[in-house]
Amino acid sequence: MSHSDLFKKVTAGDGDARQAAANELAAAVKASGLKGSPLVGEIKAAMEAQGKKDGPTRAAAMVATAALCKEHTPTTEAHLAALLGEVLNSLSDKVKEVQVAADAAVKAYAEMANGAALNVLVPVCLENMDSTKKWQTVVGALMLLGELADKAPSQMAPHLTDLMPSMTSCLTDLKAQVKEQAQVTMKKLLDTVGNKDIEKVLDDLIVNMMDPTKTEETVHKYAGIVFVQVVTAAALAAVTPLLKRGFQERKDALSRMCAKIVANMSKLVEEPAEALVFMPQIMPLLEKASEEVSDPEARGVCEDALEQMNRIKKKGEERPLRKAEADKMKAHITGAASKAGDDPVLVDYICTMCCALTDSRMFDFDDWEEATVPYFVACGVDEAAAKTATQTILDAAKNDSGINDEPVDEDEDAEELCNCKFTLAYGTKILLFNTDMRLKRGYRYGLLGKNDCGKTTLMRSVAEGKVEGFPDPSEVRTVFVEADIMGEKSHLTCVEYVLDDPAIKAANINEEMVTAQLNAVGFHENAAARPNDAVSTLSGGWRMKLALARAMLQKADILLLDEPTNHLDVMNVKWVQDYLMGLKNVTSIFTSHDSKTLERVATHILHIQDLKLSVHKGNLTDFVKEYPPAKSYFELKATKFTMAFPQPGFIEGVKSKGKALMKMEGCAWTYPKNTKPTVEGITVQVSLSSRVAILGPNGAGKSTMIKLLIGENIPQIGNVWKHPAVRVAYVAQHAFHLIENHLTKSPNEYIRWRYEVPGEDKEAIKKATMSLTEEEEEILKKDITFELKDEEGKMYKVKGVLDKLTGLRRQNKQKEYEYQIKWVGKSDDANVYVPLGKLEKQGKLFMKLVKVVDEKIAAMQGMYVRPLTRENVEKQLVDVGLEAEYATHTRMGALSGGQKVKVVFAAALWNQPHLVLLDEPTNYLDRESLGALAGAIESFEGGVVIISHNEEFTKKLCKETWLMEKDEETGIAHLNLQGDADWMQQALKQVQEKGAQEQISEMVDAFGNKTAVQQKKKISKADLKKFKKKIAARRKDGEEVYTDEELEAAGWIL
């Protein structure tokens, strides 16, 4: 019997007879196939029969379809797909018998479906989920979708993009049955996303879709996720409804969190083109938030996310996903398996599956085998030939997709040292994700990226063999060059320091070889640094030369240099540049905030952005042409990022910002074991208005002079003075060592630990000006006598052995400070206050004790203004540019170099200093941070002294220049004051000559212009009385005036 006759038998029967006839039809079709058969058309016509009287016919068609699906072959499966839409429609038939039969047919389709055929079945389901359809049909389509998702999750995931809008609508449907089935199906669909980062909160996503009031709570949960897995289109589709609702709430905090989720997820999108479909939904909301969010910080997060999305959009548009073309695919199929071409319906079906696999970038042979081989075999192709044909089609499709496209290497002759794909993390933070790195011998790669993007971590990981796929050290030798010297090795000589390195020991390098290499980089007996000098005496420039000499001895294939030009003057920067350019067979990767070095040295640029590492041929100029935003890495200006220093407090007795708070007069310093001074004749002063740049070549004595000024060392010749109430912050050139012992603390915890004892800084440099020698300790054990005045002005004597200065200080009627002392063996009742002048007469050791008290009192005054609380410390860290996430919730061991510098700044500035001394502050900071630092210094009300080789930075900020230069004959450094500092030089000279700073007759500005200074005269008692009357009258009129300031303005002195 023909297929048509057998189908008539099905429609004529009922009950068991109908089912038996349907089984007979299915067996016949399984044997002969459906090619050329009218059966499918006849079944469809029966399904479309109208009227209640045709109900049995429609039911028979459903029974026949279910039987055919259960006994399907690969060829019949292709033909039966055309009936699915009518089957789903029949679920809402008015005749119950038809509904029941249709339900069985839907389940049979779910059993029959090939996972790769979802491109055929899902659109049919989607069409029948429309709100115009009856609820039974919608429920059936939802049920089938859920079954297909269980059966083929990887093939279902790409369809979420199209399904989510309809699914969201179904979850809020008024019909309880639709809502219930939608909930079950949505759970199954979201399970196909395959992203472990969000799988724990998928249920919350469904709850939010059903109840919008849960939006804020759900967004909070998503904002706390650390995303580490590849974000596919399916993951984006799942989260998009939540983000839309979050932005639409129009709350600053909620918009910020949504923007953060967008930024975090979009970084992990492997194919930018996959994100394009979500741009129309998310971008307008981000743009609106960037304009309307009132909170500046939250708005900045929205702007950053928008900027990132624009970058992804641009990449996606430049490199769109190449979709499979049906005509091309059919040609591949019929060309590889000609017998399949006899059945156009089958070819179309196979073509649909192959196109779906291609568009999903699923090129695993097993997937393609399932989608093609059974169908080819059913057409009469031998199984081995069918597999060969499948491989041929797969290769052609893969080639058409562009996935095999590789960038053309212009220098194929250069030896390849590395070609790997890897992911790199630091703690819980992903720095590089599933990215490629290819390095060639002899290339010089400048490594670029914003601060905290992972530049240093990448180089250190390469050097330590922690990059997956990187060649073994036996094949490619890498050396990480860093100039920081660990504290436990600071006592070693330069030669000993190099020999102590494990890699040098392993290479059997001897002292003679080390000395020769040190000579090669400039260490000589007559140079500023000698091979046998202690490494602790080296300036930053010489430390870098030492590190390079050590690296050279290891015969590296790849040199990894982190900011090699930091701490270096112009001549030494050129030396490093020339050295790197001279390496013809060694590859170098280096970071630098010096645009001139990247311009001159780099042959290629490695760029870190959005968790990817890309390589670009050419130097910095070439890269900026290709990627203009990179110019911002080297512009000395702040954009959204700002820094702020805490403003200094009031200093009693200081009415003018120009009044000297620190002075050095004729100072000289000779290092132990040296026969001649390093510096001499140093005369300077610093006030609240000071903006000083200390310049000079490496090893000229700049840091030595600063150490004398702050009291770390005592000059052998000359005097150093500091106002007793002034607070000074000093950020040393190698300040990282302060926090290296606290890497398990957060920055917030570290600062609170450092200042937890009131008035004390646990990390304060041990100053020679405040530390007693053994001889001075012995002197203190002897009796001393003070002649003092009692409250009535009568003189009396006290004698005893000093126990300590108690820390209490007061001013007497003559405005002179008096310090309370305690005697050995006497009670506190015997404590007395001794004027500073009398303590000074007892010798320098007493002045050391006085300075300890002054420092503590000054620090305590800062503590009174701002308590040491978690919130206050966090604000301080945020003010210097460290986000709260890193300030309070991240251990310092997980911070980048730039972030650690900010911690050092925040800690040094905690006590609200009046004067800030910065030794090479620009190291490790990107240009945006430098711009912010410049802004903080400009708005700071205290004095600032800066040592830096960054000429652009110091020119922007400093009106005074102290130039340290060594005398070519003696090798001793002297100070040459320029600009406004000439005024200081003349002032101090006249103080020494005339004994009165008030008699200065002229000042010289930075350009050498002379301005006359009004001579101040001592006011008589009569004039003073008249003057005070005038002041009193002005005060009575409500004017706020001060006698001291008005006297000074009028040219008088008391």
More confident position, 603 or 413: 603
Nearest to 955 by CA among 932, 979, 977, 975: 979
pLDDT at 982: 39
Highest mean pLDDT among 95-109, 575-589, 804-818: 95-109
Q: Which tokens hold the place of 282?
A: 């998310």
pLDDT confidence bin for 1003, thresholds 50/70/90: very low
Decide if pLDDT at 638 tops 60.
no
pLDDT at 985: 42
pLDDT at 1000: 35
pLDDT at 995: 39
Mean pLDDT of 401-407: 61
pLDDT confidence bin for 166, thresholds 50/70/90: very high
Query: Read out DSSP for 335-403?
Result: HH-GGGGG-HHHHHHHHHHHHHHHHTT---HHHHHHHHHHHHHHTT--HHHHHHHHHHHHHHHHHHHTT
Please give the backbone phi and psi of residue 81, each rounded to the nearest 5 degrees, phi first.
-60, -30
Which residue type does 935 have?
G
pLDDT at 532: 87
Percent of the chain with pLDDT over 70: 87
Mean pLDDT of 263-273: 81
pLDDT confidence bin for 734, thresholds 50/70/90: low
> Residues 325, 327, 333, 334: what is their CA dihedral angle, to the nearest 10 degrees?
-170
More confident position, 114 or 459: 459
pLDDT at 146: 92
Report the mean per-residue pLDDT for the chain. 82
Which residue type does 758 have?
P
* Sheet arrangement for strand 691-695: 717-722, 660-669, 679-687, 973-979, 960-966, 691-695, 943-947, 915-919, 728-731
Of 249-258, 428-437, 498-507, 880-889, where does mean pLDDT reach its minimum? 428-437
Percent of the chain with pLDDT over 90: 19
pLDDT confidence bin for 62, thresholds 50/70/90: very high
pLDDT tens-digit series, residues 444-488: 999 998 877 888 888 888 988 888 889 988 889 899 887 665 556
Nearest to 536 by CA among 773, 707, 681, 764: 707
pLDDT at 851: 82
pLDDT at 779: 83
pLDDT confidence bin for 750, thresholds 50/70/90: very high
pLDDT at 123: 92
pLDDT confidence bin for 103, thresholds 50/70/90: very high
Decide if pLDDT at 82 tops 80.
yes
Decide if pLDDT at 902 tops 80.
yes
> What is the spatial distance between Cα 572 and Cα 564, in angstroms, rounded to a whole number?
10
pLDDT at 284: 92
912: alpha, beta or left, given left = phi > 0 and alpha = psi -120 to 50? Answer: left
pLDDT at 868: 85
Contact 608, 426 (CB under 8 A): no
Highest mean pLDDT among 411-425, 774-788, 904-918, 996-1010: 904-918
Which residue type does 775 have?
E
pLDDT confidence bin for 916, thresholds 50/70/90: very high
Q: What's the alpha-carbon Rg for the chain, to the nearest Å?
A: 41
Please give the backbone phi and psi of residue 524, each rounded to the nearest 5 degrees, phi first.
-135, 165
pLDDT at 736: 66
pLDDT confidence bin for 415, thresholds 50/70/90: confident
Nearest to 569 by CA among 536, 552, 549, 544: 544
Decide if pLDDT at 800 tops 70.
yes
More confident position, 67 or 571: 67
pLDDT tens-digit series, residues 326-348: 899 989 988 888 877 778 888 88
pLDDT at 447: 93
pLDDT at 210: 87
> What is the spatial distance between Cα 322 and Cα 399, in angstroms, rounded to a whole number?
10
pLDDT at 124: 92
Mean pLDDT of 256-275: 84
> What is the spatial distance between Cα 384 and Cα 368, in angstroms, rounded to a whole number?
14
Contact 423, 434 (CB under 8 A): yes
pLDDT confidence bin for 1012, thresholds 50/70/90: very low
Contact 80, 91 (CB under 8 A): no
pLDDT at 979: 53
pLDDT confidence bin for 222, thresholds 50/70/90: confident
> What is the spatial distance between Cα 962 and Cα 985, in angstroms, rounded to a whole number?
11
Decide if pLDDT at 850 tops 80.
yes
pLDDT at 997: 35
Longest dimension (CA), the chain: 140
pLDDT confidence bin for 589, thresholds 50/70/90: very high
Which residue type does 32 have?
S
More confident position, 743 or 1022: 743
